[in-house]
Structure 1
Amino acid sequence: MNFTNKTIWVTGATSGIGRAVAIEISAKNVNLILSGRNEQALGETASVCEKKGSTTLIVPFDLGDEKSVNAAAKTVLDKGVRVDALYQFGGISQRSFVSETPVSVDRKIFEINYFGTIALTKLVLPEMIKNGGGQIAVTSSIVGKFGFPYRSSYSASKQALHGFFESLRAENVPNNIAVSVIIPGRIKTNISVNAVNKDGKTHAKMDVGQDTGMSAEKCAKIICKKLKKEKKEILVGGKELIMVHIRRFLPRLYYYMASRVKPL
């Protein structure tokens, strides 16, 4: 993947990893489509990217609203824009126990993390195929690899993304569609602050692990380097990533450790 002169759609570009990735690749003279819910924040991201030499198109939408997703895709595609890459960073986390969380909250998490993400993908993919190929990246989490206390539906929604995008990749090898699943560990963003609690309200607290995590800027540099190489899975973070390998190779140790984790 050569970023230069490509048109790249970045969702979740208002803050965190999405914003950092947009800014990182903006130095490569790209045409950026920036999306998220907060139009003012998107404007701020766009301003930084333009100063680095890239053009921007702001297309705000809400991942949890199918009509909003459809309208955003229509806005882009009706302009005749050729989307060379779709990098999806939008999403929401969770801080609540299974026994205390109503299904309505579980559905909200899935609507944003899973259904909103695959809806946009399904709208962009046919145009990519028609244009001879492209790249799609989706953001999972290390808990997309295993279950974790206080993250039940968040973990489930991320694991669902793995199944969907691995299937998409297998189906579209002949269509020259590269697919990367990004798997962050603890990155210093507002993901815990914006997470939903058992009542569906904002958690409004910065987790200690999040606060001491890798910076979004450093994370973005690693992600972009691996996106350029079209890596199928992109693990990025600190020592917490060892849990992925423990779960795979030492499952008994993983079960013991997971049961003793303090969720906050």
Structure 2
Amino acid sequence: MTFKNKVIWITGASSGIGKGLVLALSKLDCQIIISSRKETDLNLIKQLCPKPENIAILPFDLANYENMKLIVATAISLFGSVDLLINNGGISQRSLIIDTDISVDKKLMEIDYLGTIALSKALLPHFIKNQSGHYAVVTSLMGKFSSPYRSGYFGAKHALHGFFDAMRMEHEKDNVKVTLICPGFVNTNIAKNALIGDGSLQNSQDKATENGLSITEFSTRMLKAIKQEKFEAYIGKKEILGVYLKRFFPRLLHRFVIKSQVR
């Protein structure tokens, strides 16, 4: 795959990984649609790009997943097509199961899972019509294994893997590609913006996130994986070993994660 002359749509584009992807792609010969709930932040990011005329802003909320057909129609109208959808929008969680109200689990599923698949399903007829399209889905290493304090978040990420693996199989005949991106720790505000048990924000950083990959390095490695049309890409530091421990030595991973006391 090449990004040249492509129309690329990025959700969760107002900060963190999404912002890093916008800044990296804006240096290339492509057009970009940037989306999140925060229109003011999107406008600021657009002005940071070398060719702001190649950036279109489309604010919306993933939680409003009943409106995705209209959102997709608007997106297509901006540059006449969409070639690559980078599903990056979402929220995280930091609370024990016993302390987490079910409303928090519901919100995580509505935004991280239902919002993402509703948007992707609404765009699918466009991809089928063009006999071409690519979904890149930012899940997590925790879409492959789990740890304490993130049960609802991990549930949504595991669900994304199940859905998009099926999408890849069903629409291979339509030349629709799926790349699942599984980040480890990346130095973003994901922990600060994570929900705690009562649904409020954690508002604090954690050491593991702070010591994670830089957004620039992560974005570079993610875009390389998309260009290579990988099925899955694990991007992080030593934490990616958890994927292989889960597969071959699940009890060892269990003991390791408990001892690590990751928050």
TM-score, structure 1 normalization: 0.95
C-alpha separation in 1, matches of 2:78 and 2:261: 49
C-alpha separation in 2, matches of 1:44 and 1:36: 13
Q: What secondary structure is seen at the aligned counterpart in 1 of 2:182?
A: strand
The unaligned stretches of length 5 or more in structure 2 are none
- Aligned residue number for residue 92 of structure 1: 91
1:76: how far off? Answer: 1.7
The unaligned stretches of length 5 or more in structure 1 are none
Q: Are the counterparts in 2 of residues 73 and 124 from structure 1 also a CA contact under 8 Å?
A: yes
- Aligned residue number for residue 113 of structure 2: 114
- Aligned residue number for residue 161 of structure 1: 160
C-alpha separation in 1, matches of 2:83 and 2:222: 17
- Aligned residue number for residue 134 of structure 2: 135
What amino acid is the match of 2:232?
A: E
Q: Are the counterparts in 1 of residues 7 and 79 from structure 2 also a CA contact under 8 Å?
A: no
Q: Are the counterparts in 2 of residues 82 and 131 from structure 1 also a CA contact under 8 Å?
A: no
Residues 13-162 of structure 1: pairs in structure 2 closer than 5 A: 13-49=13-49, 51-52=50-51, 55-67=54-66, 69-78=68-77, 81-162=80-161
Q: What secondary structure is seen at the aligned counterpart in 1 of 2:173?
A: coil
Residues 251-262 of structure 1: pairs in structure 2 closer than 5 A: 251-262=250-261
Moved more, 62-71 or 188-197: 62-71
C-alpha separation in 1, matches of 2:48 and 2:124: 28
Q: Are the counterparts in 1 of residues 91 and 190 from structure 2 also a CA contact under 8 Å?
A: yes
1:79: how far off? Answer: 5.0
Q: How many residues align?
A: 263
Moved more, 225-234 or 164-173: 225-234
What amino acid is the match of 1:141?
A: S
- Aligned residue number for residue 11 of structure 1: 11
Distance 1:210 1:29, change over 3 A: same
Q: Are the counterparts in 1 of residues 46 and 52 from structure 2 also a CA contact under 8 Å?
A: no
What amino acid is the match of 1:62?
A: D
RMSD of aligned residue pairs (Cα, Å) = 1.5
C-alpha separation in 2, matches of 1:115 and 1:67: 10
Q: What secondary structure is seen at the aligned counterpart in 2 of 1:193?
A: coil
C-alpha separation in 2, matches of 1:79 and 1:114: 26
Q: Percent identity?
A: 40
1:65: how far off? Answer: 1.8
Q: Are the counterparts in 2 of residues 29 and 54 from structure 1 also a CA contact under 8 Å?
A: no
C-alpha separation in 2, matches of 1:74 and 1:228: 26
Distance 1:93 1:198, change over 3 A: same
TM-score, structure 2 normalization: 0.96
Q: Are the counterparts in 1 of residues 56 and 78 from structure 2 also a CA contact under 8 Å?
A: no
Task: Write out per-residue CA displacement over residues 53-87 of structure 1, whole angstroms, 9 at most, x where no aligned residue.
Answer: 76011000111122454442232235572101101
Q: What secondary structure is seen at the aligned counterpart in 1 of 2:203?
A: coil
C-alpha separation in 2, matches of 1:222 and 1:146: 21
1:16: how far off? Answer: 0.7
